[in-house]
Amino acid sequence: MTVRFIGSPHTRVDGPRKVTGNARYAADFNQAGQAYAVIVSATVGLGRITEMDGASIERMPGVVAVITHHNAEKLPYLPHKAVIDPAEGERLHVLQDDQVRFYGQPVAVVVADTLDDAERAAAALRISYDARRPIVDHAGDEVKAIVPDAATRPGARTLADRSRGEADAAVANAAVKVDENYDIARENHNPMEPHATIASWNGERLTLWSKSQYLVNEQAEIAAIFGLPLENVEVVCPFIGGAFGTSLRTWPHVTLAALAARHIRRPVKLVLTRKQMFFTTGHRPRTLQRIALGATPEGALAGMVHEGTGETSRYEQFMEALTNVTDYLYSCPNVRTQYRLAPLDTSTPNHMRGPGEASGIFAIESAMDELSYKLGIDPIELRRRNEPQLDEAENKPFSSRSLMQCYELGAERFGWTQRTPEPRSMRDGRLLIGMGTATATYPAFHAPASARVRLLADGTAEVEAAASDMGPGTYTSMSQVAAEFLGLPLERVRFRLGRSDYPQTPSHGGSWTMASVGSAIRAACLEVQAQAARRAAADAGSPLSGASVDDLEWSEGLLRRRGDTSPGISYHDIVVRAGVPIEAGGSAQRDPKVAEQYSMHAFGAVFAEVAVDPDVGTIAVRRIVGAYGIGRVVNPLLARSQCTGGMIGGMGMALMERTALDPRDGRPVNAHMADYLMPVNLDIPELEAHFVDEVDPHVNPLGVKGLGEIALVGTAPAIGNAVFHATGKRVRTLPIRIEDMLTA
Amino acid sequence: MFPFVLEKAGSAEAAIAAAAAGARYIAGGTTLVDLMRDEVERPERLVDINALPLSDIRADGEDLVIGALARMSDVATHPEVGRLQPIIAESLIEGASPQLRNMASMGGNLLQRCRCPYFRMLDAACNKRDPGSGCAAIDGLNAGNAILGTSDHCVATHPSDVAVALVALGATMRVRGSDGERSFAVEDLFRLPGDTPHLEHTLTPGELILDIRVPGGPYGRRARYLKVRDRASYEFALVSAAVALDVEEGLIRSSRIAVGGVGTKPWRLRACETALAGKPADRSSFEAAARLATEGVRPLSHNHYKAELLPRTIVRALEMAGDVA
């Protein structure tokens, strides 16, 4: 087949709708007669509600209902867990009791005819608490780390304890050592679009227009919470204004919107405030890590120890892949990793772009950089000397691994040879210039997915899957895949997503959307072609009548006998003659045998240049260059956009983002876009993303590895390493701030 | 948001009468509306003064006169501002974001309320918002708070950038109230928190800011504003410095220094100015003078770094001003 669509830099098919305001987001689906719900959030960090007089505000203008634990419907909360939910613990049950488990927990919902009325009344609701001081400081003395239950089970993706060789002894006896601790701040996702749900009941059937990265799970979760048959719940979300993982789980506000709508027997709209986005919609957990590396004088790693602890809530054990990368990143005979959790009086964290890997790689890649200086070996050369021939933890080959090609391409594009190795050796006028690099990696995941293709009489094709598009360009890239395998022009393919009643897909996260849904679409396209061919062969009036389907082949959307040079017949011809659309489903999952055989990961190399003002300590990132080996690139334009977005996220992680909790009551004091810093345009420099040619026949039929996560992973250590190179000051706490530079 | 009545004033007299009767002035609304949405501010009456003819920006001899309703973005790009007092433009551009600068008025900028996080959270103690309730910042997360001019009742910084430049340059302001007009130094607009941190300025009820006058002088192009902060835009100063030098044959005749981000009001540093007089315009003079800036600082649990950053910022700003000189 002529490759025309996969690999082409097509602009976004949904771009015109977005820029003209015709893309409808969850909160845009206003329903006739809808009321507005506002969540009242707890103002203490731990304790119980002693008094809450909902009746006192019920007579305020426009108020329809005040729902508290006194009058809320008791919900079944049937057991339900998806892959994105913590394996251990039980999700927060809202308005079911008087307990306050963390600051900002929803304790009441006020519903009114207008948003203003609801806000006004919600602000007037007086609540008394019996409050205790919460424990929210992960690094505090009172914190007792626990072994995550799920991490002790065989086959867990992140193991509590994993070891090969004698890592501690190897580090202790090594000629050259690095042994340091790292502290990465809690971050909140802060997408542009706030969480929003509009809930509408029709008898026992519920429709949710709700921001979600995992529609079929939102359907299943709400069905379980309300004790409904799955088919009674429908979730619709055609557009997402950024998410970064925060909309993977179904959070309490979705339940509250549905609960309120049932309570008042009207559709209810509930949109979280920016401040509330810091309370119960997940966060990247603060992590504390220790890395100990030992090496020979020639730079061969002799031992690696990686211990990490992530914060979690008291009611759920949220795990992420904090220590995973250390197992397979480099060649080393003695490696020990340890993963623990610190339960705190906070809400449960969740996955945030590059979950686990982004934090773990900051520690390990900062330590590798530090080791390179102790050894006097160029950082890239150090990695080259430790490049493994296989995944030494799993003892299996990589399906493909292009790390050194990434370093070579990235170094060339970045101009690494201009770098002088000594810290503080490069200047631009009075500014200290630093160049740093770091490895990026993320697993090439795959999950079972399905899709449907329908060939219509007008010669177009409709493709459907319950997928999401939070910004990477799923609408576009999936259209390209379908166009590719159907052999139709892109404008004759319509890809639809964002409905839970479309064919099931996994969560829109983990960089597995293209691998999983794309493969399913390919399968559905091939299946619909087979069906169409059978129709043509069985159709007495068709020029291909009576042909063996094995003798037929599709090319450029036309069906011919093999070797035949006739014009062939089109989908249009076949569908018109059939009189009904031809529809086929397809699904895809990774062959377990292949999965058993290979270690599958994407790799990349990130380069950053910074300028530090030696007087006042300001840090400016001057440029970032990333080179990635991610298998096949479906759309280079979208892929570069994803990478630059990820780099900006990495800049935020390195230099700005930090949710600050007041230890007295656990409140996030900077729950505001003016106070929670993220890079603004003026901070963002020239960003370059390059892709090495990588063919991986094992990962999935499309040969794609996924890009969303790895695009963020690696940026923070590259910047931290550049800051060290500029100043000679090693900062092991993120974000790196001006005050860290003052003691340089 | 609490319900309120909005009226439009057609004349200064009408506005002043409304304000004297309890209405609050609203111009750009960039502080007030934000705080009303959070119910930190709960005015019952607002009087919109945007129609008043107070937006002029003009030169008066060597002085620069800026109307109270001139927008930050208009002042920043005005040719007379660039000609006479480029530091005013520099300090304005460093403030807020373009969207906010397009709306915010100069008078409102001076009267903007503090950015202490606890001030904006109704469930936290704040003497400024709720006199007598206490100060959550003193023992809280106070990295952004002040180290100069603080009291046991309030440690909030004054957030304005341009006010720092105006105080350094000795600008004056003209106000009108029910009893007529008066003029005074911009520096005297601001009150220290003491035990009444909810009283932030010296205007009497109903007084309306008419304009700001920046005196001409020997500084002009030898004045610079340096703002040190954790990102490049839309972020308040950790420390900022407005400095002006009058240098002749390498010797400093006189100087002006005011700093932001560290004080409970824009903070003029006369001791540093005095120390520079007659000294060579070089780094060692700047460093010696800047050391005096930290006399009397009272760092809090999380903002010791400001005492370190303050003299560094002054030195750097003086070097910037010196380079132009």
> What is the tens place of the pLDDT at every residue in B125-175?
999 999 999 999 999 999 999 999 999 999 999 999 999 999 999 999 999
Please check whether residue A141 lies inside any domain of the structure: no
Please check whether residue A3 lies inside any domain of the structure: no
Claim to verify: residue A168 and residue A202 sit in the same structural domain: no
H and E: helices and strands count for chain B: 11, 12
What's the rounded Cα separation, in Å, for the pair A384 and A411? 13
Claim to verify: residue A530 and residue A648 sit in the same structural domain: no
Claim to verify: residue A558 and residue A582 sit in the same structural domain: yes
**B1/A120 touch (CB, cutoff 8 Å), yes or no:** yes
Of A615, A656, A660, the CB nearest to B231: A656
Claim to verify: residue A584 and residue A545 sit in the same structural domain: yes
Q: Which amino acid is at A364?
A: I
Of A617, A672, A679, the CB nearest to B231: A679
Q: Quick one: pLDDT band at residue A566, thresholds 50, 70, 90?
A: confident
Q: What is the DSSP letter of A516?
A: I
What's the rounded Cα separation, in Å, for the pair A144 and A312? 12
Please check whether residue A627 lies inside any domain of the structure: yes
What's the rounded Cα separation, in Å, for the pair A477 and A633? 10
Tens digit of each residue's pLDDT (9 = 90 or more) over B41-79: 999 999 999 999 999 999 999 999 999 999 999 999 999
Same fold, B5-50 and B224-324: no
- Residue A709 known to be catalytic: yes
Tens digit of each residue's pLDDT (9 = 90 or more) over A510-533: 999 999 999 999 999 999 999 999
Which one of A540, A565, A589 terminates a domain?
A589
Q: What CATH number labels B5-50?
A: 3.30.43.10
Check residue A441 and give left, alpha or beta (phi > 0: left; psi -120 to 50: alpha).
beta
- The whole-number pLDDT of residue B325 equals 44
| Whether domain B224-324 has CATH 3.30.390.50 | yes
Burial of A144 (C-beta count, 10 Å sphere; 0-12/13-18/19+): exposed
Q: Two tokens at A388?
A: 């493994």
Q: Which amino acid is at A523?
A: A
**B141/A613 touch (CB, cutoff 8 Å), yes or no:** no
Which one of A531, A554, A589 terminates a domain?
A589
Q: Quick one: pLDDT band at residue B324, thresholds 50, 70, 90?
A: low
* Nearest chain A Cα distance for residue B235, angstroms: 7
- Whether cis (ω within 30° of 0) applies to the bond prior to B53 is no
Claim to verify: residue A489 and residue A417 sit in the same structural domain: no
Q: Does B249 touch chain A (CB under 8 A)?
A: no
Q: Which residue shows structure tokens 């892109």?
A: A490
Residue of B nearest to A679 (CA): B231
Claim to verify: residue A324 and residue A417 sit in the same structural domain: yes
- The whole-number pLDDT of residue A1 equals 46
Claim to verify: residue A310 and residue A433 sit in the same structural domain: yes
- The whole-number pLDDT of residue A744 equals 53
Q: Where are the domains of chain B?
A: 5-50, 224-324
Residue of B nearest to A658 (CA): B230
List of chain B residues whose C-beta atoms are within 8 Å of the C-beta of residue A675: 115, 117
Give CA angle at A455 (A517, A507), nearest 5°: 15
Arithmetic mean of pLDDT, A214-229 = 98
Query: Which domain, by its residues, includes A501?
Result: 15-22+447-589
Claim to verify: residue A524 and residue A484 sit in the same structural domain: yes
List of chain A residues whose C-beta atoms are within 8 Å of the C-beta of residue B234: 674, 680
Pick the catalytic residue from A187, A370, A657, A709: A709
Beta bridge partner(s), residue B184: B173
Q: What is the CATH number of the domain that holds A124?
A: 3.30.365.10
Residue of A nearest to B36 (CA): A120
Tens digit of each residue's pLDDT (9 = 90 or more) over A127-160: 999 999 999 999 999 999 999 999 999 889 999 9
- The whole-number pLDDT of residue A2 equals 54
Please check whether residue A8 lies inside any domain of the structure: no
Claim to verify: residue A258 and residue A381 sit in the same structural domain: no
Q: Does B220 touch chain A (CB under 8 A)?
A: no
Q: Which residue shows structure tokens 């009397």?
A: B296
Give CA angle at B294 (B290, B295), nearest 5°: 115
Nearest in space to B33 (alpha carbons), one of B20, B23, B46: B46
**A742/B312 touch (CB, cutoff 8 Å), yes or no:** yes
Suggest the residue from A186, A653, A661, A669 to mutate for an interface test with chain B (most B CBs closer than 10 A): A669
Please check whether residue A2 lies inside any domain of the structure: no
Tell me how far the alpha carbon of residue A274 is from its chain's centroid: 20
* Half-sphere exposure of residue A509: CA atoms within 13 angstroms, side-chain side: 24
Tens digit of each residue's pLDDT (9 = 90 or more) over A453-477: 999 999 999 999 999 999 999 999 9
Give CA angle at A463 (A460, A468), nearest 5°: 140
- The whole-number pLDDT of residue A567 equals 86
Q: Two tokens at A374?
A: 């102790």
Does this model's pTM top 0.95? My answer is yes
Please check whether residue A7 lies inside any domain of the structure: no
Please check whether residue A175 lies inside any domain of the structure: yes
**A617/B139 touch (CB, cutoff 8 Å), yes or no:** no
Tens digit of each residue's pLDDT (9 = 90 or more) over A601-629: 999 999 999 999 999 999 999 999 999 99
